[in-house]
Structure 1
Amino acid sequence: MAAKITKAAVIGSGVMGASIAAHLANVGIPSLLLDIVPASLTPEETAKGLTLEHPAVRNRLATGALSRLSKIKPAPLYDEAFVSRITPGNIEDDLHKIKDVDWVIEVVVENLQVKQELHRKIESHWKPGIIVTSNTSGISINAMVEGCGEEFKRHFLGTHFFNPPRYMKLMEIIPGETTDPAIVKQIAEFSEKTLGKGVVIAKDTPNFVANRIGTYGLLVTLQAMAAKGFTVDEVDAITGPALGRPRSATFRTLDLVGLDTFVHVANNVFEKVEEGDEKVVFEVPQVMKDMVSRGWIGEKSGQGFYKKVKGEKGSEILSLDLTTMEYVKSKKPASASLEAAKAAKGAKEKTKALLGAKDRYSELAWDILKKVLVYSAGKVGEIADSIHDIDRAMKWGFNWELGPFETWDAIGLVRTAERMESEGETLPDWVKEWIAAGNQSFYQKTNGTTFYLHKGQYTAIEQRPEIISLRNLKEQNKVVRSNSGASLIDVGDGVVCLEFHSPNNAIGADILTMIQQSVDEVRQNYDALIIANEGRHFCVGANLMLLLMEAQDGEWDEVDNIIHMFQQSMLKLKHFEKPVVAAPHSMTLGGGVEACMPADQIVAHAETYYGLVEVGVGLIPAGGGCKEIALRASLANPNPEVDLQPYINQMFMNVGTAKVSTSAEDARKLGYFRPHDRVVANQDHLVYEAKQSALALVRGGYQPAQQSKIRVIGADGKAVLKLGAQDMKYAGYISDHDLLIASKLAHVMAGGDLPAGTMVTEQYMLDLEREAFLSLCGEVKTQQRMQHMLAKGKALRN
């Protein structure tokens, strides 16, 4: 067996195959991308005088797939340059090259015969030790390799990536009857650690786990909708966030997936299950068949259950009236149950509120939910070994906030089970036996450890060292200090974690106070500090509401105090005598970036969207962001003869246009990350990896950053920056107020009006930041931008 996976081959260059190759490239795994040889020439190839034997023709499908990667949205690659890690080819000429890879992934059409023939070809070039997997959404893993050798079968299994592979967390791994357990373990570990996936081991059954339950849920929703006369808009209002599901709910999800794809998945179960209630559910409704026959298959065809059209006031969304098959203006439903769910906090409370209101919407939600819960319970042991695996599959594969069994616990297992039976539902025996034994839930939590029902008893969820849960640590009384905005948590081995938990993790006085207290605490009692949290976003910036209120009231001393406190808190982190590691994830904006910049090292999740965006609300970075940019340029170029202007120009453009990275690797490309900053694929491992980096700094004899003088580009450099901004104004890209902000930003980033090459202190740069920030706060147009951002959640151009 291969010791580790360092090179792969992907066979099949459709959107899924190319996107899998792209994600391998994202994590540094080079791959071959192979497809069939075209049977005919294109007009362009004919015009060039090419023949069917020309390599450009023979590799056309794979080469074309790679060229299209940059056009796919959302982007499959962290950085478009990573496409160079993928080598295109074709099956006839290049299949023999798989002997040099560690993992072959077959991603061809969902047709058993085609897959069987291809695996026999693969086996003819295969050598022992190479792992071969099929990316299939439901075809039998065992059937694919019928007729292949036993040794080949030992190395063969299913790896079901969810689409898009870069972003979807779930990886279903499906062992065959004779797959070597060691290979299953190897692929699972690689998928989790290197690819960043959440792994569920599935049984070799139709559609495996997530698609089996997800498809069932969508079909029973359609049936309940038709029976009770609900509209597309009403169903989506009920089956979205109100039920702990994504905003795409039911019909937007179907449009995104594609109705043709969904019909194929549903038919896969329909054709393979025995006659009975389950087969009836999986028969695709006639209305959906009609839509597919018309070509109304969702976003890829321009219309499905929804259709975007241009109206008098711009684009508007129409929804399909399933009784007339005509598109009508989309309407946002309102009801007591929907309002109750909207007001509730968290998926558990939202679901309870939706079901508890007792109107027609709550009745539909119950009719759908009870069917899904009973069905999920009936599939335990058949599609996956445990309720925990099924819950994780639905959360990771369909972005449900709660899995089916977590949902059942949330709404009251015993009470709702009784109601289900009273309404004619047949519960699995194991559920009835569990309740009869006096149990009130499928899960329970004790001292930070979660237990789940497995084989008739509560079993602890494995506590793995690489997954550090701050929530669990808090339940285990590991909080060292805490206030309304942040907590300091002992994560072991002399390391503590500063966790933000204010609304949206916005930085206010409470977080800044905790930063200063954390430095004092670590100085006396710990070896290192990490900054991480488990919020949806790491930090969206400073507390804008507080800032706006003070500015509108003319409390300039208070605004000045806030900025001064922010700057001094960051300076404390910057020059702390013990290591500081920041672990950003998801949205890390404005003040969130400035909270990371003083750290000795950044350990970022791969999906980190990072940028200094203050100009979007009419301001400039003033928590040390501009100072850090100038400092990094100066430290990286100690030779006074080296021109700093190009780097400052790039960062001026980044900040001046509020540019946000599209990934952690893009943040590195934009100049925000340093060479020693790290990227982690799996967000669940982020706290652990940050801790390991902090400990490595401790073991390496850490020396704190010294106060450094900063070489600035001065008045001459400032003129260059302002000239660039003026050109953008003349071209109509920015407004007069944008130009004012850019001028202030240029003044700060250049170090003011000093001669080029002047050496200044960090405090000098911070004073420039604060002065510019205060002056912009007094601008009416800046206050309008701040107000608009708070009210609308997007930038105002004024």
Structure 2
Amino acid sequence: MVKPIQQAAVIGSGVMGAAIAAHLAGAGISCLLLDIVPTQLTEDEKKAGLTLEHPKVRSKLAVTAIEKLKKTKPAPLYSEAFATRITPGNLEDDLHKLSKVDWIIEVVVERLDVKRQLLQRIEQVWTPGTIVSSNTSGISINEMVEPCGDAFKRHFLGTHFFNPPRYMKLLEVIPGQTTDPEIVKYMTLFGEKSLGKGVVSAKDTPNFIANRIGTYGLLVTLREMLEKGYTVEEIDAVTGPAMGRPKSATFRTLDLVGLDTFVHVAGNVYDNTTDESEKAIFDAPTVLRRMVELGWIGEKQGQGFYKKVKTATGKEIQALKLDTMEYALSQKVKGASLEAAKSAKGAAAKIKALLGTGDRYSELAWNVLKPVLLYAANKLGEIADSIVEIDNAMKWGFNWDLGPFELWDAIGLVKSAQRMEAEGDVLPDWVTSWIAAGHTSFYVREAGSSAFYYECALTAVETRPEHISLRALKEQNRIILSNSGANLIDIGDDVACLEFSSPNNAIGGDILTMIQKSAEEVRNNYRGLVIANEGKHFCVGANLMLLLMEAQDGEWDEVDSIIRLFQNSMMALKRLPKPVVAAPHQMTLGGGVEACMPADKVIFSAETYYGLVEVGVGLIPAGGGCKEVALRTSRLVSNPEVDLQPFMNGYFETIGMAKVSTSGHDTKRLGYMAPQDSVVINSDHRIYEAKMAVLDMDRAGYTAPVEERIRVVGEQGKAVMQLGAYTMRQSGFISEHDQLIANKLAHVLAGGNVPANSYVSEQYMLDLEREAFLSLTGEPKTQQRMQHILTTGKPLRN
């Protein structure tokens, strides 16, 4: 029986160690953060009369690291308050405290001798049963604990987080030769469920899976560039989204990682492989070493393959010309294959279009892709036992849309294998045998199976109950209702899921119509409703283009009709006599928030950026958002003797300044999280957890909420809020139009021109919203704001 992890310790408070501690704190795990005792005093410490023995000095590395976590961007902490879950200390005074924790993670310098010495010290205070792991990016797990005892070795393994830990999904779990299999199994499940990671099992080989293949691919690309004379910009144009990879592509990625770090990682394979051909690839090119010598190591030093340069008109991005080692203005790259890829939908179609055009950039794409596919196939069995582990490692660790074997399937396994052989390449024996047996792909879908992918070893890819895939369910014909903007999908156990599917999941008439139809369908035939989707973002708000077009044409009846439809659709969800649970993720803005507010419960993904942002386009929330925050305030302050004003002022500021949460947890700070709401750290589990919540409410005997009367601050409270807006206008913080919007918002939130502490109906509040929204839609400056954000993606201050 493996001891559950409730407390952890991280050894090493550098950037990575502190960020891992922050992620553990975000997962609800209290954490001890230890580092060495400093050997020198700073000038400020000397002036303060401190000595090296003073407690403030001895643990200052960890203390400083925790403080930095609160200021770092992007934020390592889901909420700044979670920093209190991290306790600073040092390895001299606090080493004994390791005996009380359940998991110890080593995150010190990447040197085998240092890690060995530290692990031997840990073993001296180690409590049997405590899991110990290393966050090494490639040093041998077995060699690290070679001097340690057998019991310690059984509890030791690698847990390689990718940076930054909060945002990067991949966690490589690397067992040693004697690691207890139960501990490996436990850490895999713990990493997925408690830490929200995509976990892959790697073998104890140099750089494990993702860095092994990713580094190889980057080096192959760099060599192709040097041999064929491509520019930095051309390489990045081909190896970015056109190839199903991030916008940072090759050289922006290297600048972000740091060229010094990359050379070190490449050297780890070079030093530890006996394959001479592989050694040649991992021997970093001279130009790379030269850049490191010059200090041109990337963003942390202000220049690498790219650098930002101030000009008389602002800033410009310059790219390095490797033939002259000089920088010049970065040039846009155009080509038929790139245009074809851009027009294609989906990663598989993009890469096929890129390779199929036959121009110079198609050739480049093939020449950098082919060796990576062959290398991944050759390393199967050495770095991982499954193609699934390799594919997932590259998707989760390098943000590829498709892993190497998925990509190979996408371009056509047989056809591309024939091309490789025609060009003199040798396929791995297992690939040749696989094709000879009549297989045309590595992955084969088995109809009707919940585990519908099978890999080349004929081993079913495990499909866990927590992983509900809407895409898979749609492929199994589980769609109940559908239109151009949304689908209602049967997700099992008589629960339906409403999925938005419009561009950017913007809410228009099609989605609103589907909400009303879905409510009726669920009312008659299902136990409850989940609102969730698998888009890049949950919902970016209402369809602004539609609203702007109607406003510019003066079709006010149409605008009024759209708002009424929105409000009626939200009320249909709220009055549904079956439980409704929303599961938002990523950007959830404006109308997306209003689509969640009627739900009985909201299960936020940890990475949810949630806010009513309508003022940014010159409007106010009118799909029930203002009504719902007024209702929440009224509920919160149920005692009629208690003043509502301070609470309403908070919402006025939050909505008026278009504040957006920095995480699912942060919605509580903004007042958007209700007591029954929760956060799930693994976004892949959102729909499952929402479904379970629906079933729990149904089993408990769900009854639809009755309409409540809303206590409002009234005309007097409106004056208080409007005075705040006036003061900001007089101080120059907001424009005249901002003040107009703020005044409209205050009027609605206050409940209009009624006495303080009046009770009003929900429909009354909705009418106020609609009237204010309509009037603002007719303002020329609001229309300018709407046009500007649709054209540029950026808000306009006018």
Please give the range of the TM-score, normalised by the shorter of the 2 chains: over 0.9
2:695 is matched with which residue? 695
- The alpha-carbon deviation at position 275 of structure 1 amounts to 4.2
Are the aligned partners of 1:447 and 1:475 in contact in 2 as well (CA < 8 Å)?
A: no
Are the aligned partners of 1:448 and 1:472 in contact in 2 as well (CA < 8 Å)?
A: no
CA deviations 1:285-311 (Å, max 9, x no partner) are 111111111111111111111111111
Are the aligned partners of 1:108 and 1:115 in contact in 2 as well (CA < 8 Å)?
A: yes
- For the pair 1:88 / 2:83, whether they are aligned, the reply is no
1:530 is matched with which residue? 530
Instruction: Give, in whole Å, the separation in 2 of the partners of 1:576 and 1:633.
Output: 23
Are the aligned partners of 1:617 and 1:786 in contact in 2 as well (CA < 8 Å)?
A: yes
2:469 is matched with which residue? 469
Instruction: Give, in whole Å, the separation in 1 of the partners of 2:318 and 2:100.
Output: 52
CA deviations 1:54-109 (Å, max 9, x no partner) are 11111011111111112222110011111111000001111110111100000000
Query: Identical aligned pairs, as a percentage?
Result: 69
> Which AA in structure 2 matches 1:168?
M
- For the pair 1:151 / 2:151, whether they are aligned, the reply is yes
2:510 is matched with which residue? 510
Aligned residue runs from structure 1 range 483-502, under 5 A: 483-502=483-502
- For the pair 1:71 / 2:71, whether they are aligned, the reply is yes
> Which AA in structure 2 matches 1:262?
F
Instruction: Give, in whole Å, the separation in 2 of the partners of 1:733 and 1:661.
Output: 22
2:125 is matched with which residue? 125
Q: Once superposed, which parts of structure 1, at least 4 consecutive aligned residues long, lie more than 3 Å away?
A: 448-454
- The alpha-carbon deviation at position 460 of structure 1 amounts to 2.3
Instruction: Give, in whole Å, the separation in 2 of the partners of 1:87 and 1:2.
Output: 25
Corresponding residue SS for 1:310: strand
Aligned residue runs from structure 1 range 145-544, under 5 A: 145-447=145-447, 449=449, 454=455, 457-544=457-544
2:41 is matched with which residue? 41
Instruction: Give, in whole Å, the separation in 2 of the partners of 1:775 and 1:737.
Output: 13
Are the aligned partners of 1:23 and 1:166 in contact in 2 as well (CA < 8 Å)?
A: yes
- The alpha-carbon deviation at position 457 of structure 1 amounts to 4.3
Residues 732-741 or 172-181, more deviating: 732-741
Are the aligned partners of 1:25 and 1:31 in contact in 2 as well (CA < 8 Å)?
A: yes
Corresponding residue SS for 2:394: helix
> Which AA in structure 1 matches 2:686?
L
> Which AA in structure 2 matches 1:459?
T
Instruction: Give, in whole Å, the separation in 1 of the partners of 2:383 and 2:604.
Output: 35
TM-score (norm 1): 0.99
CA deviations 1:431-483 (Å, max 9, x no partner) are 111111111111122336465565x5433221211111111111112111111
Are the aligned partners of 1:680 and 1:686 in contact in 2 as well (CA < 8 Å)?
A: yes
Are the aligned partners of 2:2 and 2:182 in contact in 1 as well (CA < 8 Å)?
A: no
Instruction: Give, in whole Å, the separation in 2 of the partners of 1:448 and 1:754.
Output: 60
Corresponding residue SS for 1:603: strand
Instruction: Give, in whole Å, the separation in 1 of the partners of 2:763 and 2:73.
Output: 43
- The alpha-carbon deviation at position 731 of structure 1 amounts to 2.3
- The alpha-carbon deviation at position 732 of structure 1 amounts to 2.0
1:652 is matched with which residue? 652
CA deviations 1:571-604 (Å, max 9, x no partner) are 1111221111000000000000000000000011
Are the aligned partners of 2:70 and 2:83 in contact in 1 as well (CA < 8 Å)?
A: no
Compared with structure 1, are the counterparts of its residues 103 and 332 closer, same or farther at alpha carbon in structure 2 (3 Å cutoff)? Answer: same
Are the aligned partners of 1:448 and 1:475 in contact in 2 as well (CA < 8 Å)?
A: no
Instruction: Give, in whole Å, the separation in 2 of the partners of 1:746 and 1:313.
Output: 40
Instruction: Give, in whole Å, the separation in 2 of the partners of 1:185 and 1:732.
Output: 59
> Which AA in structure 1 matches 2:138?
G
RMSD: 1.1
> Which AA in structure 2 matches 1:333?
V
Instruction: Give, in whole Å, the separation in 1 of the partners of 2:550 and 2:59.
Output: 63
Instruction: Give, in whole Å, the separation in 1 of the partners of 2:335 and 2:161.
Output: 38
Instruction: Give, in whole Å, the separation in 2 of the partners of 1:436 and 1:327.
Output: 51
> Which AA in structure 1 matches 2:363?
E
Instruction: Give, in whole Å, the separation in 2 of the partners of 1:527 and 1:220.
Output: 54
- The alpha-carbon deviation at position 703 of structure 1 amounts to 2.4
Corresponding residue SS for 2:70: helix
Instruction: Give, in whole Å, the separation in 1 of the partners of 2:727 and 2:200.
Output: 54
1:8 is matched with which residue? 8
Are the aligned partners of 1:448 and 1:473 in contact in 2 as well (CA < 8 Å)?
A: no
> Which AA in structure 2 matches 1:87?
T
> Which AA in structure 1 matches 2:276?
G
Instruction: Give, in whole Å, the separation in 2 of the partners of 1:457 and 1:104.
Output: 35
Instruction: Give, in whole Å, the separation in 2 of the partners of 1:765 and 1:402.
Output: 48
Corresponding residue SS for 1:327: strand
Are the aligned partners of 1:593 and 1:612 in contact in 2 as well (CA < 8 Å)?
A: yes
Corresponding residue SS for 2:459: strand
Residues 577-586 or 483-492, more deviating: 483-492
Are the aligned partners of 1:484 and 1:510 in contact in 2 as well (CA < 8 Å)?
A: yes
Corresponding residue SS for 1:427: coil
Instruction: Give, in whole Å, the separation in 1 of the partners of 2:218 and 2:357.
Output: 23
Instruction: Give, in whole Å, the separation in 2 of the partners of 1:147 and 1:91.
Output: 20
1:62 is matched with which residue? 62
Are the aligned partners of 1:105 and 1:134 in contact in 2 as well (CA < 8 Å)?
A: yes
1:747 is matched with which residue? 747
> Which AA in structure 2 matches 1:232?
V
CA deviations 1:137-174 (Å, max 9, x no partner) are 00000000011010100000000000000000000000
Structure 2, unaligned stretches of length 5 or more? none
Corresponding residue SS for 2:669: helix
1:116 is matched with which residue? 116
Are the aligned partners of 1:451 and 1:459 in contact in 2 as well (CA < 8 Å)?
A: no
Are the aligned partners of 1:388 and 1:452 in contact in 2 as well (CA < 8 Å)?
A: no
2:669 is matched with which residue? 669
1:570 is matched with which residue? 570
- The alpha-carbon deviation at position 2 of structure 1 amounts to 4.3
Corresponding residue SS for 1:133: strand
> Which AA in structure 1 matches 2:421?
E
Instruction: Give, in whole Å, the separation in 1 of the partners of 2:166 and 2:651.
Output: 28
Instruction: Give, in whole Å, the separation in 2 of the partners of 1:233 and 1:647.
Output: 52
- For the pair 1:774 / 2:777, whether they are aligned, the reply is no
2:18 is matched with which residue? 18
Instruction: Give, in whole Å, the separation in 2 of the partners of 1:633 and 1:452.
Output: 49
> Which AA in structure 1 matches 2:293?
S
- For the pair 1:718 / 2:721, whether they are aligned, the reply is no
Corresponding residue SS for 2:550: helix
CA deviations 1:1-34 (Å, max 9, x no partner) are 5431100000000000000000011111011000
Corresponding residue SS for 1:172: strand
Are the aligned partners of 1:585 and 1:609 in contact in 2 as well (CA < 8 Å)?
A: yes
Instruction: Give, in whole Å, the separation in 1 of the partners of 2:411 and 2:726.
Output: 60
Aligned residue runs from structure 1 range 541-620, under 5 A: 541-620=541-620
- The alpha-carbon deviation at position 49 of structure 1 amounts to 1.1
Instruction: Give, in whole Å, the separation in 1 of the partners of 2:195 and 2:273.
Output: 33
- The alpha-carbon deviation at position 686 of structure 1 amounts to 0.6
Instruction: Give, in whole Å, the separation in 1 of the partners of 2:526 and 2:3.
Output: 38
- The alpha-carbon deviation at position 708 of structure 1 amounts to 0.7
Corresponding residue SS for 2:24: helix
1:628 is matched with which residue? 628
Are the aligned partners of 2:446 and 2:453 in contact in 1 as well (CA < 8 Å)?
A: no
Corresponding residue SS for 2:272: coil
> Which AA in structure 2 matches 1:351?
I
CA deviations 1:172-222 (Å, max 9, x no partner) are 000000000100111111110011000000000000000000000000000
> Which AA in structure 1 matches 2:135?
N
Instruction: Give, in whole Å, the separation in 2 of the partners of 1:647 and 1:359.
Output: 62
